[in-house]
Structure 1
Amino acid sequence: MDELWEEALGQLREKLGKQNFETWIQPIRMRARDGAEITLEVPNKFFRDWLMEHFLTSIQETLSILSQQNVKLSVTVNQQLQKSRALEKKPEREKPKPSRVNNLIPKYNFENFVVGASNQFAHAASLAVANQPGDHYNPLFIYGGVGLGKTHLINAIGHRVVEKRPALKVFYLSSESFMNELIGSLRRDRMDEFKSRFRNVDVLILDDVQFIAGKERTQEEFFHTFNSLYESRKQIIITSDRFPKEIPGLEDRLRNRFEWGLIADIQPPDMETRVAILQKKAELEGVQLPHEVALFLASHIDSNVRELEGSLTRLGAFGSLTKTPITIELAKEVLQNTLRGAHRELTIENIQKTICDYFDIKIGDLKAKRRTRNIALPRQVAMYLCRKYTSTSFPAIGYKFGGRDHSTVIHASKTIEKKIKEDPHMEATIDKLEKNLNVKR
């Protein structure tokens, strides 16, 4: 090996880190060196393109400093490198992946999932898919904010399928893992293995699909994977933090396919559900949680299940380690930072109920097709407040109001904003409603 290149490798290992070095630098071979002109060899075209975009500058700078001249680099492809490296590594071939179940998180199942108004539809859809994968609701697309139970539900589906139909192959992974496996397969020139792995499953579960947005090659491969599975009537389950139309950078052809099946959202849990979640968590962890403490926690941490459960875990651990009974006073002391940072995020259901109580109408009226003024105005006000005080997208709000289009929600919001500025009576109405919702303008 050329002494200059050997010395450069040592510096690049320190500069780029072990993982980047072993993945992208170690496979390179120096083919030729003619003064300041150096030719490097890489295993395939994808490797070359990635190297030139992400690491070529670092290599060039390192070689220039070591050789004390302005090095000019060229990179060529030599597919024999791939074969020789494969032979070198043959004794250490990676172990085959399990064929039945892969990556499912053991603790997430239907038995410990707490059902409430905020997640009832998503839970019912998940049960239906788990009992008959590939037959109905394909794909199943579940969306909602962070920490609301999406990952719990989709893992529960996987576990139920494995339990009821053990012959089926289930595969769960995050979209980031999908992308990393794709990059690795391209680099090692093993795309046939990649395609076989993902297209020969019966249930594919992909978490946080929004992370592939803007990544052209990843979207391209997932598009073909989706088509292959769908045409074979294999079940596809996807989660995201938002409605398909609201994912920026997502290709239209994927967006359209995500809407072929059933879309279900999960909202922040209501008070009753939050208390039930705490009680279930306390039961599972063996924590003695008085009802008044559960009510206190549920009233102060009201938008994120993960934060709610994490608070109970910290409180339970403190009580156990210090042999202190759990009380509201202890909760205030142990969780003071969490309680100080907690904020109230209204749900669409909260707002709809408040509107109906104020205008003396029924929930069904808000979702009906009628456009009479005594219904249309409250509906517009409700949509306006939903958009203002929840993180829910326009399409998702429209769905909660009888499946209306997102443009209807946008129009309603703009209409009420205009009326607030022009009509003192409307401004007073909104003030009263916001007081009833315990929010401030």
Structure 2
Amino acid sequence: MDGSSYYIPAAAMAVALAVKAPALLRSRRDPLQRSVCALLALAGLVFFFAAPPTIAQVNDLTGITNFSAPLVYCLLSAFSASCLVLIVNWRGGPGEATRRLTARIVTGYSAVVVALVVLFALGDTPVERLRDLDTYYANTPFVREMIVLYLAALTVAGVAMNVMCLRWALQVGGWLRAGLLIIVVGYLFNLAYLTTKFTAVIARWNGGNLDDLSTYVAPVLASAGAQVSAVGFCLPLACQRLGDTWSTWSTYRRLGPLWRELRPVSAHQGRAVRISWWSPAGLRVTQRESDIHDGMLGLHPYFDAAVRARAHDAAVTAGSTPEQARAEADAAMVTAAIRARADDPEGRVISAAEADTAPPATAEGPRDLVRISLALHQSPVVAAVRGQAPTRPESDFHEPTR
């Protein structure tokens, strides 16, 4: 009896869980991370224990005929609850309201799990059924109620998931909307699975026989629904991670011109630190920013507020926005300071600055390092400052047009 159609999805969920495990270890208290990992774990367990070979093995190990039935039904109910909890935590909102709704979902489905176990214990299932227990025992007291209860619990979860995802999808865009709509498609497969199950069970109640719907069609629909939904859950998270990584590396690259300009200064001060090439992007950006700040600290005695003011006026006249004009002015001041430092090999300016109690001239407020870095090679105002001779008088400074 081939269980590959069950074991392959179970293995896929196990791999996804292994990928997410490091993030969970780093953020144990993050309810979203816990919800994602719980969903992946329960999905994998459902497929594993629902496989006919596993069903037979579990029944043999426990010595209880059809023990796997309530086990799988309980796992399905827990999986449904985990989906609802994930959506609630993913959507966010007031912390207290989120925790309260999560507690209600967990409490409700915990009650369903207890009821499933009690009903199975009260019922009588002497004949082992690996594939068609739902229809074979559709008219058996207590077992009948157990079957209806788990199907009803899954239906409630499926309808609730579609409603919440559709409402949320109307309020957001991008990859999040795409993921939510994919989840809706996945749960439409799940609702189709439940429809085939209910149809086959009701047919048994009325003396008919549509067992093939439950035995052969429903598992295919369930597998497709679970895998499509998993894609919907993972897609926005994965794309957000890729987007964040791309943004971090983009920042690292755009800081390059300013970092290379100031690298000799920070290296001369003995503050430059080499990090390994395999270091995370965020750490590399932090290190590059630190090197830039160290370089600027070494240039402070050479900063000239007059150079910055003239460059700012030139940038504004050329049509730059206020933010861009400030960045161009800072870049021009840095360029002039590097040139001034190169013309002072004996460090007389630094010595004079150390004897002076007045603070060095700096830009107002925090600097936008990325804008400054880009302005170094893109701004004609900075190019004009870079091309000036050291002895050039202030009156010769011109304001280039764009």
TM-score range, shorter chain: under 0.3
More relative contact order in 1 or in 2 (CA 8 Å, sep 6+)? 1
Q: Whose helix fraction is larger, Structure 1's or Structure 2's?
A: 2
TM-score for the superposition, normalised by structure 2: 0.20
| Structure showing the higher strand proportion among its residues | 1
